Amino acid sequence: MDTNDQLEQHRARLAALRANYLKGLPQRLERLDYLVRSIPVERTYREDGGELRSRLNITYQEFHKVAGSAGSVGLHAMSEAAKAVLQILDHWFTDATEEPLSKQGQILDLLSTMGQADDAGSESSDAAPRPESRTIHVVDDNPLTANEMQVWLEEAGFDAQVFMSATIYGDTFEVLPRPDLIIMDINFGDEPNAGPRIVDFLKQKLGNLPPVAFLSIRDDMEARLAALRAGASRYLNKPVSRRELVELAHEYVDKRDASAFRVLMVDDDETTLSVTQAILERAGLEVCAIANPLDTLDAARNFNPDLFLLDVLMPEVSGTEVAATLRQDRQFDVIPILFLTSDSHPDQKVMGAALGGDDFILKPFDPDYLLTAVMARARRSRRLREVLALRQPG
């Protein structure tokens, strides 16, 4: 199938998910309104009252779902309003400056803005991954080395473009066609860590970048730390061999010779689950999507994933509990776990890390950032398991 047809199919799939979400939105908002108005605020109650905590917990879970699902279909104003509600609910007992009735009123005001969702974000879901390309940027001020790498990569079928100045590359990156891989030298002229500095600058400015492989004649701790802190995917020592360079390019750009990475995703919100699945599958990943967290273990044993992508807040079983259960099984002990959540509470992150999670991604997420995080960890997971398999006695 032509890549343009595939892209149109992907856009149509996301548009259908968004239309279906908007169709059911009045009913969802009506339920949120009922939950907020049912919070007991007009009578005396103890701080640890069971009914109050139960109502707050149910209301929190419903707004948490909306914060993620609305953002995933491009309704970012609605998502931000829902996240503001989460902040009020999260500090219900600790914020003594507002009366309960006032807090309820603030939530109802935010809910009314959610009901006025406009179409400003209607195209945001199209920010899905680009059709497959094989573009590599080589940034190196040594013309002999840079040109040699360009020849090797082009003979292997990649579109390699050379840039001699890290500073100029940083200044012009936004207007260039986005590459699939950046190969960046560490040193430029008299500046020992110019490469990592430019990459860090671009990340601060743009939020995310394609994978970056640093290369250098240096092999000291300072250079490696600079590359690491700039988000290096790989670090290579010069001189780089033709075989090493082409293998690197195939690993990060051309995945046709390898089976697709497998992601097992668990989220009780059907909209977020479907949109995220569409984004990952458009990038060539194989996805097993589960709405019931109690089915995770059986699905994992049948699917053999390279990575778990878990929602944190689910009614029957939390994502952190699912992670802890998976870590009890040696078969899944080395498989990375990424958490999706609308809540950036630090205690939640500490608990997730303690129970075996590798990272948190906030909803609504940037598709490119999600893909970068998923691909990097899935790749590392598969490589690690291949190494462990080789070490097993025959």
Q: Where are the domains of the chain?
A: 3-124, 135-252, 262-391
**Fold designation for 135-252:** Rossmann fold (3.40.50)
CA distance 293 to 389: 29
Confidence of residue 44 (pLDDT cuts 50, 70, 90): low
Strand, helix or coil for residue 207: coil
* CATH homologous superfamily, domain 262-391: Response regulator (3.40.50.2300)
Contact 308, 264 (CB under 8 A): yes
**pLDDT reading at 346 higher than 60:** no
Paired strand residues for 237: 216
Contact 322, 296 (CB under 8 A): yes
pLDDT value, residue 257: 47
pLDDT value, residue 306: 92
Q: Give 182 or 207, the one with higher predicted confidence.
A: 182
Mean pLDDT of 365-373: 76
Please provide the average confidence, as pLDDT, over all residues in the chain: 81
Whole-model pTM over 0.75: no
Q: Give 390 or 218, the one with higher predicted confidence.
A: 218
Q: Give 131 or 74, the one with higher predicted confidence.
A: 74
Mean pLDDT of 251-271: 79
Mean pLDDT of 29-33: 91
Q: Give 52 or 262, the one with higher predicted confidence.
A: 262
pLDDT value, residue 301: 93
Mean pLDDT of 125-142: 68
**pLDDT reading at 266 higher than 60:** yes
Confidence of residue 289 (pLDDT cuts 50, 70, 90): very high
pLDDT value, residue 162: 93
pLDDT value, residue 354: 47
Nearest Cα neighbor of 312 from 61, 45, 23 is 61
Torsion angle of C-alpha atoms 25, 69, 324, 305, degrees rounded to 10: 120
**pLDDT reading at 263 higher than 90:** yes
Q: Is 231 left (phi over 0), alpha (psi -120 to 50) or beta?
A: left
pLDDT, one tens digit per residue, over 104-121 is 899 999 988 887 755 444
Q: In Å, how far are 76, 192, 200, 226, 306 from 205, measured between CA atoms?
A: 21, 22, 9, 18, 31
Cβ-Cβ contacts under 8 Å for 252 (sequence gap 6 or more): 180, 181, 211, 213, 233, 234
Confidence of residue 100 (pLDDT cuts 50, 70, 90): confident
CA distance 156 to 273: 38
CA distance 288 to 338: 15
Q: Beta strands 307-311 and 337-341: pairing type?
A: parallel
pLDDT, one tens digit per residue, over 75-93 is 888 888 888 898 888 888 8
Least confident among 71-75, 85-89, 208-212, 363-367:
363-367
Q: Highest-confidence range of 2-16, 127-141, 342-356, 373-387, by mean pLDDT?
A: 373-387
Q: Highest-confidence range of 119-128, 224-233, 320-329, by mean pLDDT?
A: 320-329
Contact 260, 284 (CB under 8 A): yes
Answer whether 135-252 and 262-391 agree in fold. yes
Confidence of residue 137 (pLDDT cuts 50, 70, 90): very high
**pLDDT reading at 94 higher than 50:** yes
